[in-house]
Amino acid sequence: MKSNWLLSAALGATALTFASAAPAAAATKFEFWYGLSGDLSERVQEMCSRFNASQADYEIVCVSQENYENNLQNTIAAFRANKQPTVTQISDGGVVDLMLSGAFLPVKQLMEENGYTIDWSNYFSGIASYFSTSKGELLAMPFNSSTAMYYYNTDALKAVGFDGLPETWEQVEDVARKMKAAGYACPIAFDPTGQWQWWEQFSAIHNQPIASKGNGYGGLDAEVEFNKGKFVQQLAWFKKMFDEGLMVHKSKAAGQTANEAFTAGDCQMTSSSIADHGSFSKQAKDGVHWDVAMLPIWAGTERHNSLVGGAALWTLKGKSAEEYKGAAAFYNFIAQPAEVQHWSTITGYIPVTNSGFESMKAAGFYDAAPYKGRELAIKSLTFTPVGEYTRGVRLGNFGAVRKEIQNAMQAVLFDGVDPQKALDDAATRSNEVLRKFEQTYKGQQLP
């Protein structure tokens, strides 16, 4: 099983980071690798410090791998070298890789074996289902959960006569056009590598399949379908908006990210995670006033729930019983209501439990700035019960498929490639990725 997992993803050349050996008299140390950087990494480090200060038996060593993809690849390489962390944070895109690896302990088993009782039914179904088997067995500990939202500069909206916040893409286009005419150089900050918020979330709220067999939940022989239906129209619309200067390229490659452009007041609209709500509050330049809303839909479309993003914590095999006790204690710590609320407060990630959300709502947490609007992420995630195309995407080596979507978007915007051709080519290459993954796990079924 282990060797199959290692074959299923490229190892890359990213250097691994290992903690130094613990002194003999120290509390039991165990490692936690995560894929967050910047402000969110600092918040994780603070959480680790709080856990270490809360008890004396265990010391968690938390190591950032900068981003989710690095963390997945580094975890794979470390497992092969028998130097894996006890806990690793794997995002939605790496779920299938972990599920089929045989390299983890299910979180329910871990907690029960270490004497902890957790009400798993308290977790939002749309979150728990992403990291569960088809029978509903939760495999990993829900940790940082989010969904995509749309952010608006409210002064710019008022300047062009729009009252409230746009709810449809038609309204977004209208206000963007008016902003451009009013002298705003960048109505919409658009990152063409941001397929999660611009593409995957679009698929869910419009109930469009990304892949056959229920977005891959039905088996490893699924094929992508993002080159059909509303996707083609949406990419053509992006191109039109881009060519008219209503959407402006903002990314690391462009020298300024979309989030940086928005908080600086250089761009007036953008899409990003609800997890950035806290960062926006801290980073917005003086005089920049903003608000957040659910993602727009096309008029006449029935809205469906958006996809959960973020990651869960997976417990890897090959560690000592004492390290597992430490991991279980850490999971129990982050599941406590006070910690759930604190984590949500300082980041913008949503509370992952029903009770946590209801408690925060009853206490008036969402009634005023800087937290007002965050409750809309819960509304978006629970707008409808999760369905065949809105429960998530379960494709092997999904990171490579996502990269193909990014390449297609950039080919259309920057190289003038026809949207249908770009998506067809991306679909062909994506299906090749899926067939290789299927062959690696020939004869296996998704749990």
Interval 91-102: pLDDT, tens: 988 889 889 988
What CATH number does the domain containing 242 carry? 3.40.190.10
Asked if residue 313 and residue 235 are part of one domain, the reply reads no
Asked if residue 160 and residue 37 are part of one domain, the reply reads no
Q: What are phi and psi of 42, to 5 degrees?
A: -60, -35
Asked if residue 129 and residue 159 are part of one domain, the reply reads no
Domain assignment present for residue 379? The answer is no
What the block records as the tokens of 186 is 């960048």
**How many residues does this entry show for the chain?**
447
Asked if residue 401 and residue 258 are part of one domain, the reply reads yes
Asked if residue 111 and residue 12 are part of one domain, the reply reads yes
> Cα–Cα distance between 129 and 136 in angstroms, integer?
7
Domain assignment present for residue 375? The answer is no
What is the number of structural domains in the chain? 2
CB half-sphere exposure, 54, CA atoms < 13 A: 15
Q: Do residues 170 and 260 touch, judged by C-beta distance below 8 A? A: no
> Cα–Cα distance between 242 and 205 in angstroms, integer?
23
Q: Is 310 helix (H, G, I), strand (E, B) or coil?
A: strand
Asked if residue 60 and residue 100 are part of one domain, the reply reads yes
Q: What is the mean pLDDT of the chain?
A: 91
pLDDT at 10 over 50: no
Asked if residue 258 and residue 136 are part of one domain, the reply reads no
pTM of the entire structure? 0.86
Burial letters for 292-322: b for 16+ Cβ neighbours within 10 Å, e otherwise?
bbbbbbeeeeebbbbbbbbbbbbbbeebeee
Q: How does pLDDT run across 426-437, given as a tens digit for each residue?
A: 999 999 999 999
What the block records as the tokens of 442 is 């020939």
Q: How many CB atoms lie within 10 A of CB 282?
A: 10
Asked if residue 257 and residue 275 are part of one domain, the reply reads yes
Asked if residue 168 and residue 215 are part of one domain, the reply reads yes
User: In the predicted model, what is the mean pLDDT of residues 38-67?
Assistant: 95
Residue 126 exposed, middle or buried by CB count within 10 Å (0-12, 13-18, 19+): buried
Domain limits at 184? 148-306+388-440
Asked if residue 435 and residue 288 are part of one domain, the reply reads yes
Domain assignment present for residue 447? The answer is no
pLDDT level of residue 140 (50, 70, 90 thresholds): very high
What pLDDT sits at residue 26?
67
Domain assignment present for residue 376? The answer is no
Query: In terms of pLDDT, which residue wins out, 46 or 361?
Result: 46
Domain assignment present for residue 173? The answer is yes
Q: Do residues 446 and 220 touch, judged by C-beta distance below 8 A? A: yes
Q: Do residues 201 and 297 touch, judged by C-beta distance below 8 A? A: no
C-alpha distances out from residue 141 to 96, 313, 350, 358, Å: 15, 5, 15, 20
Please say whether the dihedral angle defined by the alpha carbons of residues 294, 217, 328 and 20, taken in this order, is positive or negative.
negative
Q: Assign residue 300 a region (left: φ > 0; alpha: ψ between -120 and 50; beta: otherwise).
A: left
What's the alpha-carbon Rg for the chain, to the nearest Å? 22
pLDDT level of residue 199 (50, 70, 90 thresholds): very high
User: In the predicted model, what is the mean pLDDT of residues 305-330?
Assistant: 96
What pLDDT sits at residue 373?
93
Query: In terms of pLDDT, which residue wins out, 446 or 151?
Result: 151
Q: How does pLDDT run across 225-283, given as a tens digit for each residue?
A: 999 989 999 999 999 999 999 999 999 999 999 999 999 999 999 999 998 998 899 89
pLDDT level of residue 52 (50, 70, 90 thresholds): very high
**Least confident piece of the model among 3-7, 35-39, 100-104, 365-369:** 3-7
User: In the predicted model, what is the mean pLDDT of residues 317-328?
Assistant: 97
What pLDDT sits at residue 22?
45
Q: Is 235 helix (H, G, I), strand (E, B) or coil?
A: helix
Q: How does pLDDT run across 18-35, given as a tens digit for each residue?
A: 444 444 446 999 999 999
